[in-house]
Amino acid sequence: MKKLLYVIDRSCNQKALSLVLDRINELYNIQCDSIKLDQYKIQGCDLQNRYDVLIYQTFPHQNHKQKWDAKTIKITDNLFNQFKGLKILHDSHDSGRVDAFSRFNDDSIPRIKAWPSYDYINKFKPILTTMGGVGQLKKQLNPYLNLVKIDKFLEWEKTWPNDKTNIGASYIVSYGYHETWAADYPTYISQSPKNKFVREDTKDILKSYSKAPVDMEWKSQFDFHNHLKDTLVSITVPGWGEGCLRQYEGPLYGCLNLMHESIADIKLLPHSDLIDGEDFISFTLDNLKDKLDYIFNNKEKADKIRFNGKLKLHQGFNINKSAEQLYNFIK
């Protein structure tokens, strides 16, 4: 039996890989264990020699003064480099464009990446991609995963396209990230200063949109999901990276995903590729109102796009398939 050790630091995008490793433990003849970074720093030299595969995840934001432990990571980086078996890096950065292991100066080490950009995929050719933000679901995680199963899509299909009575849009997001000390601005925003306040700027544009209702009132998680179930359009903007949970929650509840252009070139699903204009619609601050007009003036086309987007979500998030993909690489 092969043995795999997963070294974990911290990241809300780390949970998705833990789910995959749990499934490998269940389905295949591979023992998957995990260890926290602080333990690895102390025990790693002797411990890792007992394993055939080492997956290494460190907190991905190197500029985050409160969470980036440079002294510890220097030690654990050296331990990782000394490992003689199959080494794999788990890049859980909130941005799919950023290389969280640029300090290694080594593009040849196999990678697992949370919601990578397609440029990242072309450069590093990750052996597995995962959804981002899964860890943010916390107590809602298991119910959420159950709702992504394909049989749930078939239940919804019976009521589509008459599943919505609120033919409007939803834009319910948090604000104020630009005032916090946490790491840096959302990565996309740091790369494009003109979009530094994209969430606030989107809100300002929507305030003056009058052709259909746009709900921007804060709701509890339970009420928010019920709200999405009965809303035609979910407007999605970047979070700490290009993505946030909305890009999954919207189609899960049958909404058309109207996503900011920064998210359009990110692989959001491990086993499906979303196509702009077929599975979602992208927007910029300059054309947001025009895109909303198009959606509300073309209800039949909008229904087809949201149908495709929800189908891709159910087909594209498959833990068993991810487990098989990783198993085939390490077996």
Per-residue model confidence (pLDDT) at position 193: 57
Burial of 27-49, coded b for 16+ CB within 10 Å and e otherwise, reads ebebebebbebeebbeebeebbe
Dihedral sign, Cα of residue 227, residue 229, residue 234, residue 237: positive
What is the pLDDT, as a whole number, of residue 182? 47
Mean pLDDT across 213-223: 94
End-to-end CA distance of the chain: 9
Compute the distance between CA of residue 321 and CA of residue 306 in angstroms, rounded to an integer. Answer: 24
pLDDT at residue 92 greater than cutoff 70: yes
pLDDT at residue 176 in the model: 62
Burial grade of 257 (CB within 10 A; 0-12, 13-18, 19 or more): buried
pLDDT band at 174 (very low <50, low <70, confident <90, very high): confident
Residues 72 and 89: their CA atoms lie apart, in Å, by 17
Q: Which amino acid is at 86?
A: L
How remote is the C-alpha of 171 from its chain's centroid?
Answer: 19
Instruction: Kindly report, residue by residue over 269-286, the tens digit of the pLDDT.
Output: 999 999 999 999 999 999
Lookup result for tokens 């409160």: 66
CA distance 199 to 138: 24
Which amino acid appears at position 310 of this protein? K
Q: Are 327 and 28 in contact (CB under 8 A)?
A: yes
Tens digits of residue pLDDT in 73-87: 999 999 999 999 999
Summarize the confidence of residues 234-263 as an average pLDDT. Answer: 92
Mean pLDDT of the chain, nearest integer: 92
What pLDDT score was predicted for residue 202? 93
Taken in order of first residue, the domains within the chain and their CATH numbers are 2-135+318-330 (3.40.50), 137-316 (3.40.50)
Backbone angles phi, psi at 21, to 5 degrees: -65, -35
**10-32 residue pLDDT tens:** 888 999 999 999 999 999 989 99
Q: What is the pLDDT of residues 102-152, one digit of tens each?
A: 999 999 999 999 999 999 999 999 999 999 988 778 888 889 999 999 999
- The pLDDT value recorded for residue 134 is 84
pLDDT exceeds cutoff 90 at 195: no
Region 148-160: mean pLDDT is 97
